[in-house]
Amino acid sequence: NSSSNYSLNNKYTHTHTHTHTHTHKITLIFMIDDVFVFILFFLQTNFPEMMNRYKQLLTYIRSAVTRNYSEKSINSILDYISTSKQVFSMDLLQEFYETTLEALKDAKNDRLWFKTNTKLGKLYLEREEFAKLQKILRQLHQSCQTDDGEDDLKKGTQLLEIYALEIQMYTAQKNNKKLKALYEQSLHIKSAIPHPLIMGVIRECGGKMHLREGEFEKAHTDFFEAFKNYDESGSPRRTTCLKYLVLANMLMKSGINPFDSQEAKPYKNDPEILAMTNLVSAYQNNDITEFEKILKTNHSNIMDDPFIREHIEELLRNIRTQVLIKLIKPYTRIHIPFISKELNIDVADVESLLVQCILDNTIDGRIDQVNQLLELDHQKRGGARYTALDKWTNQLNTLNQAIVSKLA
């Protein structure tokens, strides 16, 4: 009797398991079918139907059977629509992310919640909706905190993603004070194995921060690190960062060619970079005519980038100053209209440049506005040199007397 009971139980268990497995298979088939239909509507750009099918897909997250497969599918869909060449309006993307987050409220799927929120955050960053972005950043920070409210360093990789998003926001707002603190913090997270793309973003923003503060060497280092990270991750952002590296190199007034490095050399003749390569050459040769010609010919390639545009004026001032110093060297008096013609700028701009050079002691002289003359005091420069030598000689004499008196 007991053996027949065992046989019945065994038969029931086998039948139940078989039925359960069969149900699993059917659920998966339905889900795969929904994925295919979603793709079909996507290719037809039938966005309302595509959205309906996506909402159907989100219901599978709650099921233990399809949880892993649905997470992978939704992840892939979100990745694809974020980078797709298809014409997606930002409003549609926002609807995608917000619909996903709504479905995830009860699903307790932390990974997908984090990924969707960071994508929505990037969208708000692109739209410059900073108040909405800050709200998301607060939620993301809370998800990576210990009970004491400190950063959970065990979640280092996620923390770096949050920092990268926040750093981009402060860079866009030109809030260097908050950016600096956060940038330093991000470089001290050692528990993470960061994705090179994330480190590329952090380093690029660090480079922009340093350049705006006039710390050109630090900016150069950061842009080079960002370029290497973007290159490693295969991001097209690498060419933009290489342009910034060239910009920092020129502002450093470095004689070293940035394309001499092993990593940058392959991009030297890249059509995107070529204009900047030629710009370096003209800049290092103080060839103002060629420099301005390159800027004019490649206007969109160079000046469409707001960050480069921000600093081009400084480069022009540097090169004009070098040409100006060389031009006035043989003279004691020189006509300002002559300088204007040689530098190819208005008389008012020449006067502005001269005032700047006189104030920072690059030039010893004064402007005679009535006669439109620059009067140079070469004697004063020589006199200042002799005064300095005299002072140095006196200091040596004093030191010598002190030593003699000690020996005596």
pLDDT digit string, tens, across residues 168-180: 999 999 898 999 9
User: pLDDT-based confidence at 341, cuts 50/70/90?
Assistant: very high
Query: 251-265, 301-315, 380-394: which has the minimum mean pLDDT?
Result: 380-394
Do 244 and 308 contact (CB within 8 A), yes or no?
Answer: yes
Query: 250-254, 336-340, 366-370: which has the minimum mean pLDDT?
Result: 250-254
Q: Does residue 408 surpass a pLDDT of 60? A: no
What's the pLDDT at 380?
A: 52
Beta bridge partners of 333: 375
Rounded mean pLDDT of 183-201? 86
- In the block, tokens 């360093």 appear at 153
What's the pLDDT at 121?
A: 94
Beta bridge partners of 334: 374
Do 65 and 109 contact (CB within 8 A), yes or no?
Answer: no
Percent of the chain surpassing pLDDT 90: 34
Instruction: Report phi then psi at 177, rounded to 5.
Output: -65, -50
What's the full length of the chain, in residues?
408
* Average pLDDT over the chain, rounded to an integer: 83
What's the pLDDT at 391?
A: 63
User: What is the distance between the alpha carbons of residues 200 and 206, in angstroms, rounded to a whole number?
Assistant: 10
Q: Round to the nearest angstrom and report the end-to-end CA distance of the chain.
A: 123
For residue 93, what are its two tokens?
A: 């993307």
For residue 396, what are its two tokens?
A: 């040596």
Query: 89-98, 128-137, 274-283, 380-389: which has the minimum mean pLDDT?
Result: 380-389
Rounded mean pLDDT of 210-238? 94
Calculate the alpha carbon distances from 93 to 70, 113, 134 in Å.
Answer: 19, 16, 19
For residue 90, what are its two tokens?
A: 């930002």
Query: 2-11, 175-184, 185-194, 356-365: which has the minimum mean pLDDT?
Result: 2-11
Q: Does residue 18 surpass a pLDDT of 70? A: no
Higher pLDDT, 405 or 161: 161
Rounded mean pLDDT of 231-259? 89
Reduced 3-state DSSP string for 210-259: HHHCCCHHHHHHHHHHHHHHHHHHCCCHHHHHHHHHHHHHHHCCCCCCHH
User: pLDDT-based confidence at 11, cuts 50/70/90?
Assistant: very low
Q: Does residue 117 surpass a pLDDT of 80? A: yes
Query: 53-67, 113-127, 340-354: which has the minimum mean pLDDT?
Result: 53-67
- In the block, tokens 């268990």 appear at 13
For residue 307, what are its two tokens?
A: 């960050």
pTM of the model: 0.74
**If you compute the radius of gyration of the chain from its CA atoms, what whole number of angstroms results?**
33
Our measurement of the distance from residue 71's CA atom to the centroid of its chain's CA atoms, rounded to an integer in Å, reads 30
What's the pLDDT at 276?
A: 87
Calculate the alpha carbon distances from 197 to 69, 186, 402 in Å.
Answer: 26, 14, 62
User: What is the distance between the alpha carbons of residues 325 and 322, in angstroms, rounded to a whole number?
Assistant: 5
Helix axes 288-297, 271-284, angle to 10 degrees: 160
Higher pLDDT, 215 or 69: 215
Rounded mean pLDDT of 90-95? 85
Q: Does residue 310 surpass a pLDDT of 60? A: yes
What's the pLDDT at 258?
A: 82
For residue 397, what are its two tokens?
A: 């004499």
- In the block, tokens 């004070």 appear at 177
- Please tell me what DSSP assigns to residue 265: G
